[in-house]
Amino acid sequence: MIRLFFGDPIFLGYIHKMKSSLCILFLLASHWAVSQSLDKMITFPSEDGIIISADLYQIHEKSAPFIVLFHQANWSRGEYNEIAPILNTLGYNCMAVDLRSGGAINNVTNLTKLNAVKAMKATQYVDAMQDMRAAVQYAKRHFAQGKLIIWGSSYSSALALKLAGQIGDQIDGVLAFSPAEYFTSQGKPRDFITSDAVKIAKPTFITSAKSEKNGWWGIYVSILSDKKTYYLPESVGNHGSKALWSQYPDSEGYWQAVKAFLKTI
């Protein structure tokens, strides 16, 4: 029988090999978890019958918190190709939704937009509101048995704040990346978002590029809830949810703020 002692070089070598093996197993497990979060495209109807496309990132039980992700102007659900799997690793299920006001990003075409155009439906920013409401309802019926959070980027972040003020009893929090009163050119009043944001009582997080603060500060101040917070980078930062993309050196600051906020819900 070979006896190994703590100070024995053979024992130390054995421990080193064990640690290396455990590291490899951990990396493999992490890779497996991320691979399991690869999206599955689903479809469901909007309020007017237009078929909405979405990518479902569900690797946890339905009791896990669920985040509905909305993209920025001229883009698609592909905005969240990198973001959603990271949210999965943090314990969240997600659904990245194509809104009818959009286009393509990261080689992902906005199929909801194509369906709306084919049906000769309007595709301005404000027209996407019905898609967002439908997405929240669909998520609640089929996937989200626990807490439900909505998350928007650029124009959809403003609409997410409006939605949070309108259906606050159906959600548990809202994140808005670069919101503003974008809708006057579409015939809406200057306080189109603020008029409903004042009703928000659930946890609210707002962030943007550094130069964009003036665009949303009035909205933020109007939110009477004390469950609100914001983040501005010390750097220039980026517009919309893409601020979290790893290609940007300052993305980690945004992620730290997002993680801290999500822990409060």
Phi-psi map region of 237: left, alpha, beta (phi>0 left; psi -120 to 50 alpha): left
pLDDT of residue 5: 39
Vertex 21 angle, CA 18 and 25, to 5°:
135
Q: 97: which 2 tokens?
A: 């939704």
Domain range list for the chain: 1-36, 40-262
pTM, entire model: 0.86
Query: Does 179 have pLDDT greater than 90?
Result: yes
Hey, what CATH topology would domain 40-262 get?
Answer: Rossmann fold (3.40.50)
Q: Average the pLDDT over 15-35 and give the result.
A: 39
- Contact 232/210 with Cβ under 8 angstroms? yes
Segment 164-174 shows an average pLDDT of 96
